[in-house]
Amino acid sequence: MKYAVFTHTIDNKKTKVRNSIITLIFLAVGLSASAQHLTPPKTYWQSFGYQKQPDHLQTVHYKSDSLGYEPTTVLVKSFNKEGFIIQDYIEVLGNFASKTAHNYVYKNGVLDSINTLTTNKNFNSTQKLHYDANGKLSKIISNGTYTNYADHFTYDHNGLVQTIQRKYADEQSTLTATFNHQKNYVTEVDALKNGEKKTRYFVYEGDDLFAMISGKSIYTIRFYNNFHRYNFEIEVEKDALQYALDKRKLYQQDEKYLGKLLEEKNGKIVYDIPAETKNENKDVIRQLELDKLYKTTKRRLIFSKYVYADGTTSGSTEMDLIFESKVRKMK
């Protein structure tokens, strides 16, 4: 959870780069959106988990079931020559078709704003970034039909992000993330305008999300087993945060421990990647994703094509029938 700020020269311009020593973001692959908490925006190619600097990356998701397969989502991330993201494009296909483009605008080498354009204009928005006299990100003001709020940042004596508080336009509700750098976890409190407070905890192991905790009298803990590429949930009745921290110690001693915990507690696997292929750079180009959170498992085949900054390419977004045949019976 340690966010350091350092300078990086781009065309002789000093640019503030938020380098996540402990990356407090949900991974593009392998974590559901529910695993996200407030963080500074990420912009540099390495913060997205890529192993080699891309010029752009194309990804297509295919729905796959007994009736066959069809593409459902197209994703394109584009970067400038210095390695900073300039556009994140999402196209949803089918009955609920839509197109969304998040455009990143830089001024004097510093991220100035993120402008979102969609086919449904009600979801258009602008995020304007503000910096203090020392060049630290101090607040982000978001404007749009459904995005009227401001994120305020505070820092500790080491210059690391200490809190991020989102204040909504109604001035009656807030969302606050507090970063515990020593114990490597984040506490996020959603204070609703009716007075209710909902708290979630995000426990990290190194750069990876290890556990997410939600609930009140009975807590649900989702463990992220990156060793076996699946997530599972269990329930505990008290001291859920300490329980997760204790399990992290055991995991540090044995990377297979979460598999043992799954069996011991009869946990429920809610997300699984039973098969994937990486290229020579160790970037993922083929993947089978099983979303088991609900009664009916959602089965997706994901194919990516990388065009790297040095001009080399790897992978394809076309349906790979050989890969599909190998994973067809995986459920």
> What are 92-101's pLDDT values in tens digits?
999 999 999 9
Q: What is the pLDDT of residue 15?
A: 35
Torsion-angle region of residue 49: left (phi > 0), alpha (psi -120 to 50) or beta?
left
What are the tens digits of pLDDT across the range 4-15? 332 232 333 333
Structure tokens at 265: 């507690």
Diameter of the chain measured on Cα atoms = 59
Q: What is the pLDDT of residue 35?
A: 62
Structure tokens at 247: 């399990």
Torsion of CA 264, 203, 26, 223, to 10 degrees: 0
Report the distance separating Cα 46 and Cα 44, nearest Å.
Answer: 6
Q: What is the pLDDT of residue 216?
A: 86
- Count CB neighbours of 209 within 10 A: 25
Torsion-angle region of residue 35: left (phi > 0), alpha (psi -120 to 50) or beta?
alpha
Q: What is the DSSP letter of 42?
A: P
Q: Are strands 230-236 and 268-278 parallel, antiparallel or unpaired?
A: antiparallel
Question: How many helices (H) and strands (E) are present in the chain, helices listed first?
Answer: 3, 21
- Residues 6+ away with beta carbon under 8 Å from 86: 78, 79, 80, 103, 104
Return the sign of the alpha-carbon dihedral for residues 172, 37, 188, 262. positive
Q: What is the pLDDT of residue 207?
A: 82
**Model pTM score:** 0.85
Torsion-angle region of residue 252: left (phi > 0), alpha (psi -120 to 50) or beta?
alpha
Q: What is the pLDDT of residue 4?
A: 38
Report the distance separating Cα 185 and Cα 169, nearest Å.
Answer: 28
How far is the CA of 282 from the CAs of 82, 83, 279, in angstroms? 21, 18, 5
Q: What is the pLDDT of residue 290?
A: 96
Buried residues in 9-31 as b, exposed as e (16+ CB within 10 A): ebeeeebbbbebebbbbbeeebb
Torsion of CA 122, 152, 137, 134, to 10 degrees: 150
- Regions of the chain short of the pLDDT cut 70: 1-35
Report the distance separating Cα 318 and Cα 282, nearest Å.
Answer: 20
**Type of residue numbered 193:** K
- Count CB neighbours of 258 within 10 A: 24
Cβ atoms of 34 and 198 within 8 Å: the answer is no
